[in-house]
Amino acid sequence: MFHDAKGRGLHSFTRRLLLGIGSTLVLPGAAHGFAHATDVAAGNRSSTSPRSRVIDVHTHMLNSSFVELLRTRGGAHYSIKQVIGGQTGVYRDGAPFMTLTPGMFDYELRLRAMDEACVDMAIVTLTSPNCYWGTSDDTLKAAQIVNDDMAAQSRRYPDRIRFMCSLPWLDAKLAVAELKRACDSLGAVGVMVLANVDEGSLTDKRFEPIWDEIDGRALPVLVHPTAPPATKYLDVVQYNLIASVGFMFDTSLAISRMIFDGFLDRYPNLKLIAAHGGGALPYLAGRLDICYDNMPAARVKISQQPSTYLRRIYYDSVVFRQDALAMCIAVAGDDRVLYGSDYPHNIGDMKGCLARVDALPAGQRDAVRGGNAERLFGL
C-alpha cells in the first residue's frame, strides 16, 4: 500500500491512477521481495567499505493531494489519463509527458530501493508540471502541499531525505514568501524550477524578485525540463517524444538563453544544476562558442564564450551512456557533475546511473558520487 507523510493509505483516486485502467501495476521488487532495508544496506556497503557517500540530487516525489489538485484544477492545458501500456500519465495539450509510478508516492519503497542501490541520501524534488497552473491560490496551495510533505519526510528520515522546494512562480510575491517559509521554517536546501514557467522564459523580468531572493541566499537551483513551449505545435503526441527529445530541448534552450542574456553575471551567486546532464548542452558547447565568435547578436550581453559559463553551472549524471557522462565531465569539469538517478520515473535508474559514475577514475568517481553535492548543498 502507498503511504503519505503520516503513514496513511493514499487517496483511492491516486491508487486507481497508479493501477491504471484494466491493468495491473507491478511494484518494483514485488515479484521477488526486498530484504530488510538495513540488512541490504549493510551487505552492500561492507563490500565497498570504506566508500564515499552517494547523494542523489535528481530524484522525485509526489503525493496524492497534489495529484488530486492537478486533476481538478489543472485547467485547459493539463489532464490525467491512461497512457499506452495501461499506466496513468499527465498530459499537456494532449501530449503525454509524465507517467505516474508507485515510487513517487511511497517513501518506504524509495528507501528500500536506495538501500538496494547503495544510495545514502536523496535530495527530492517535485517533477513537472510542478505548480505552474491554475489560479494564484491553486499554485500556492500546490507548492505548500508538496513542500510540507517533503519537509515532514526530511524530519522523519533526516539522514536519508532532504528536499528542494517548489514555488508558485506565476505570482512572484507569493513565490518569494513561500521560498522564505520553505528555507527558514521547513529546511529546504535548494529550489526546483522548470525550464519554462507556463511557457515563460526564466529570464522574464516578472521573475526577477524570485531570482533576487535565491541569489541572495546562494541557493542551488535544479533546472528541470517540462513540456516545451508550444507543445501543441511540435507533433510530439506520438512516441513519447516529449520525454525522449522535448525535455532535452527545453533544458538546453533555457540554459542557453540564460547564458546569452548575461543572467549568470547578474546573479553571480546562483548555483544552477542543469538536469539530465544539461540536455544537449555538452554536445553543443562548440557550436555555442562559434556562434558567439561570429555573430554580433550573441555578444550583446556577454563578453566571454558560452563555454566559460557552462563551467559555472552544475550537471547531473542522468545521461544513460558512459561516453555521454565523460563528455559532460570534459565540458563542465569533474567538480561540477553530481550523481542523479531520475528515480522513480519509468526511465529512472539508480543502479545504472551509479554504475557509470563508479566506472570513472577514482578522483572523479568520489566527487560525482557525493563529494560535489556535499560541498554544493553544505551537507
Phi, psi (rounded to 5 degrees) for 83: -110, 170
DSSP 183: I
Per-residue pLDDT of the chain (379 residues; tens, 9 = 90+): 444 444 444 444 445 555 543 333 333 333 333 333 333 333 343 334 467 899 999 999 999 999 899 888 877 788 887 878 777 778 877 777 778 888 889 999 999 999 999 999 999 999 988 999 889 999 999 999 999 999 999 999 999 999 999 999 999 999 999 999 999 999 999 999 999 998 999 999 999 999 999 999 999 999 999 878 887 888 887 888 888 998 889 999 999 999 999 999 999 999 999 999 999 999 999 999 999 999 999 999 999 999 999 999 999 999 999 999 999 999 999 999 999 999 999 889 999 999 999 999 999 999 999 999 999 999 9
DSSP 27: P
* Number of residues assigned to the chain: 379
Alpha-carbon gap, residue 120 to 360, rounded angstroms: 19
Q: Of 182, 222, 66, 210, whose CA–CA distance to 133 is shortest?
A: 66
DSSP character string of 95-152:
EEEEE--GGGT-HHHHHHHHHHHT--EEEEE--TTTT-SS-HHHHHHHHHHHHHHHHH
Structural contact between residues 157 and 115, judged by C-beta atoms closer than 8 angstroms: no
Structural domains of the chain sorted by starting position, each given as residue range(s) with its CATH number in brackets: 52-377 (3.20.20.140)
Q: What residues have CB less than 8 Å from 143, skipping those under 6 apart?
A: 131, 165, 166, 167, 168, 178
Its pTM stands at 0.85
